[in-house]
Structure 1
């Protein structure tokens, strides 16, 4: 029964993403990791990308893969749940020269034909929280990497959605310990994300076999986003008190 529920959620999320994809074209893509986070230009988590085979989980419109190509990656691979996103990525990456491109439409919980122990880097920019089964997804990602390969991902900080803004006040409206598949609040259509604690991510990574190298919860507030409007999902007020997002870098042992 649980597996059939997960399949239903994946299909529902696919429909929602197919409809919403144009709104997210080019958004939250490298060198940006997520809202109010330091960028890759500042963090240098990927190091030298020259000649690297890279795989993106939740590749969206392909802008992060294009960034990888511009920094010397030799092969670009991506998977995304949305057909609309994959078509956008194919179009965007069609102009990339001298770089192999392979894109798959499918759920991150399943392997659609991605080679095993092949990649130097697997990464995910603000997409991993859409998995309905984190353990299974991480096992897949681990299998795709060469020994010593890197897995880097960013996602919304789990405390962010637990706190709402009411004028100048921040109010805890949900328990941090409340985990599981839940409706994504900012979306006006069915969109189920996996709300998990930071410790759950860390423990699942360790159990899978990853060695955690770095966790980033830093905030970089730009003048142009200093909004106090509670209708904005990521505000300066909240970011000045709690991290809106996080990044984890780990290594396949």
Structure 2
């Protein structure tokens, strides 16, 4: 397996290639497939006047949502140059100002320390090639009492597959580490991490874990094929999305 620098280069190239396929996808108030929304959960609390940073800002739609709620200073970072350009254009089209920068979440030393009231991430934080370093970076950028809220694909999601009219495990839940896949037609590096690994790394970084949400919202009318990656049948058996709220104490 490649070293971390090589992994980031692969993932940047991949995201630059497929960014247009994710324009507006996985953005607040949505936290992810079949997950409860921010409008239901109110994890971010009062946003008006707050300084906010999005890790993996993508096309900028979550930043637009935060600005619509009155966030006072809106920042975003993303590994993909294409995504950063999309985000900048979206904010400009809506006559909003924001500080959007192209950088990896593992290397945000240029961002101000103890500056942000809220750091959030929607289906992006799990792309990190070094979770301990990323969480330490975020911790340093938050003010005391600041909030980190993020969602990611639940670790069980990639282990379950619908085959022969039943759900089966494709591999052990206990296996962890990086793996290379062809995703949307491009090679990328992803990581298997257990829920306990994520929680322990948050604790080790100094965070107080306030809430962990593994609920699913599956409409009764959902008729999605069980063979698709995200399906109602699968979501009724296991949560596709995990959402975590932490506090810097």
Q: Give aligned pairs, total.
A: 249
The reply on whether 1:200 has 2:202 as its aligned counterpart is no
Q: Which runs of 5+ in 2 are unaligned?
A: none
Please give the TM-score of this superposition, normalised by the length of structure 1: 0.94
Please report how far the alpha carbon of residue 5 of structure 1 lies from its aligned counterpart in structure 2 after TM superposition.
1.2
The reply on whether 1:242 has 2:232 as its aligned counterpart is no
Contact 1:213 1:250 in 2 (8 A): yes
CA distance in 1, matches of 2:18, 2:167: 29
Match of 1:216 in 2: 213
Please give the TM-score of this superposition, normalised by the length of structure 2: 0.96
CA distance in 2, matches of 1:44, 1:76: 19
CA distance in 1, matches of 2:83, 2:241: 23
The reply on whether 1:45 has 2:43 as its aligned counterpart is yes
Which of these residues, 173, 179, 183, is aligned with residue 182 of structure 1?
179
Query: Cα RMSD (Å) of the superposition?
Result: 1.5
SS at match of 1:190: strand
Contact 1:104 1:112 in 2 (8 A): no
Post-superposition Cα deviations, 1:116-169, rounded to whole Å, max 9, x if no partner, equal: 000000011000111000000000000110000000000000011111111530
Contact 1:69 1:96 in 2 (8 A): no
CA distance in 1, matches of 2:182, 2:29: 26
SS at match of 1:26: coil
Which of these residues, 32, 56, 59, is aligned with residue 57 of structure 2?
59
Contact 1:129 1:195 in 2 (8 A): no
Q: Aligned in 2, Cα 1:124/1:184: closer, same or farther, shift over 3 Å?
A: farther
CA distance in 2, matches of 1:44, 1:211: 18
